[in-house]
Amino acid sequence: MSYLVTDPIDLGALLALVQSPERGAVSSFLGTVRNHHRGREVVRLEYSAYGPMAEAECGRIVAEARSRWNVAVGLKHRVGELEIGDTAVAIAAASAHRDEAFLACRYVIEEVKRRVPIWKREVYADGNVEWVGSGAAGQQGSGAEDGRDGSGGVVISSPSESSPS
């Protein structure tokens, strides 16, 4: 099974993968494309990945969740060009009872954000295009949390101005 997909993600299919008669609790998470980032209007974005490592890392994360809790886990992350509202990542976790399903689902999305080599280039309404993430956040020893949405960007093309806010 491939974790990275280029076609739209089908949550129903992902849920069907994990559901079974003995698992009465199903938790899911969707990450969808926001229309804003740090106060700027986003019109679309593009995800790219280091495919072989992203697949391997997703596999490790799912295996970790399954070893920590008695759960079935489904995970898909989309790559390529996405529009506002499109689902970028989907996770489904099913277990006998709800605690484990919620915990596993949360674990998987946090680890995906922290460890899977996927990059996001946002196209703004003003025409600027930026890779999400900043230099400091990408350095070893900086702490993974810094790599989240609050960091600055590397400006690739900038018709009207050159510095990220």
Partner 1 sequence: MTSTAISTLTVRVLLFASYAETLGLDAIELTFDGGATVDDAIERLRALPGGERLPPKPLCAVNLSQVRLDTPLARGDELAVLPPLAGG
Question: Does 150 help bind partner 1 (rule: CB under 8 A)?
Answer: no
129, exposed or middle or buried, with CB in 10 Å at 0-12, 13-18, 19+?
middle
Question: Does 165 help bind partner 1 (rule: CB under 8 A)?
Answer: no
Please, which contacts does 16-23 make with residues 24 or more away whose CB atoms are closer than 8 Å? 17/72, 17/74, 17/92, 18/71, 18/72, 18/73, 18/74, 18/92, 18/93, 18/94, 19/72, 19/94, 20/72, 20/94, 22/96, 23/71, 23/72, 23/94, 23/95, 23/96, 23/101
Question: Does 121 help bind partner 1 (rule: CB under 8 A)?
Answer: yes
Question: Does 116 help bind partner 1 (rule: CB under 8 A)?
Answer: yes
Question: Does 63 help bind partner 1 (rule: CB under 8 A)?
Answer: no
Question: Does 89 help bind partner 1 (rule: CB under 8 A)?
Answer: yes
Q: Which of 43, 99, 114, 126 binds partner 1 (CB under 8 A)?
A: 114
Question: Does 38 help bind partner 1 (rule: CB under 8 A)?
Answer: no
Question: Does 156 help bind partner 1 (rule: CB under 8 A)?
Answer: yes
Question: Does 87 help bind partner 1 (rule: CB under 8 A)?
Answer: no
Cβ 148 to partner 1 shortest distance, Å:
9
Cβ 58 to partner 1 shortest distance, Å:
9
Q: Which of 7, 12, 67, 140 binds partner 1 (CB under 8 A)?
A: 140
Q: Which of 8, 119, 126, 127 binds partner 1 (CB under 8 A)?
A: 119
